[in-house]
Structure 1
Amino acid sequence: MRSRRIPPGGAEPCPSRPVLLYNLETNQCVTKVGNSIGDFSCVNLHSSPPNMLVAGNKDRRVRVFDLRCAQAVCSVYGHQLGVSAVQMDEWKIVSGGEEGLVCVWDQRLATKLWEMHARHPVRHVWFNSHSLITANIPEEKNPRGSSITEDDPSLHRKYRGVIYSYEFSVDQLAVDSVLPICRSSYDELTGYNYNIGLAVPYDSI
């Protein structure tokens, strides 16, 4: 008979729940990644670089996996609740959380570059070389009030979702850019307005 150690409090540790990747032609599992205790809540393979996968977890971490070795090559932590949306390119990661926080990370340095907070959970993130689109959707979309007018969602600002559009500007003179932190060049030592310290030199986007 095999004994199992029960931690103080009587609760057993939850088993790990990896992400499984299947070959659609053979219907066979080709690899699995991740051994975290929490559930993976979002993955993005389609938009990731070749042989890479980015995933968010309910343990509030964002992980980048190399599918060739099935190992995590980057893990960042900055959300207060579970991660709900992720996307990556060759060097940066954008993640959204259940608490409404959107983060831009440099995966090479495992460093947060920028963040923006909204009321509702982030349900969608998408970006390319110059734009970032996020969608925040409220958990409760059917408020109930004491009258007919109070039941109208349009009268309840806190129940309205919102779509944000940001610009990764390459124009050094665009001081009104929403993301000035992402337009630094190798010629300047400081290129941000949010009191966030970054390693230099910077990449030009």
Structure 2
Amino acid sequence: MAAPETDILTDQSSLLSLKSSITHDPENTLANWSNSTFVCNWTGVTCAHIHHNYLRVEALNLSFMGLVGTIPPHLGNLSFLVSLSAKNNSFHGILPDELSRLSQLMYINFGSNDLTGKIPSWLRSLSKLAKLFLQDNRFSGSIPASIYNLTSLEIIKLSENQISGKFIIYTHLSFVLLYFSFTLYISVVA
């Protein structure tokens, strides 16, 4: 049987791109992120046997590490990622469009960083997304209409941003817990 087009080495390369985009790691937390340590043993990385028992990165947790940097487009190559958390750091810039390729994602937490731009419209492609935490950043503009395509969404937290506009709750969203703290009009559509 042929090896899959992407494999654990693709995941490793993507994570090394992330490490190179980090300009400050105050506790040297990512010191073991190197070619001399197996990627599944890296700090914050969880792997699982997926697709014909190939080992792939399934979760990335960089929360509360004091990291400073940007989120690189290469992170979109982690095709089996289910959970992505980088809460309480100092990541800045925008969330790259390439993250739209993370079709397995069920959980995203970029809360309490310094991210800017609009809430990404590419979120619509993350059909399995259940929990979205983007609070306490510097996002601006309105909530994209594409967010209504997220039928698996259970929790959305966008408080402490510069967002305004209207949020419509469609009844196909079985249970949505909303966290907002800005000018917002909420409508319920049956």
Pick the TM interval, shorter chain.
Answer: under 0.3
Select the structure with the greater relative contact order (CA < 8 A; seq sep ≥ 6). Answer: 2
Higher strand share: 1
TM-score where L is the length of structure 2: 0.27
TM-score, with length taken from structure 1: 0.26
Q: Which has the larger radius of gyration?
A: 1
- Greater share of helix: 2
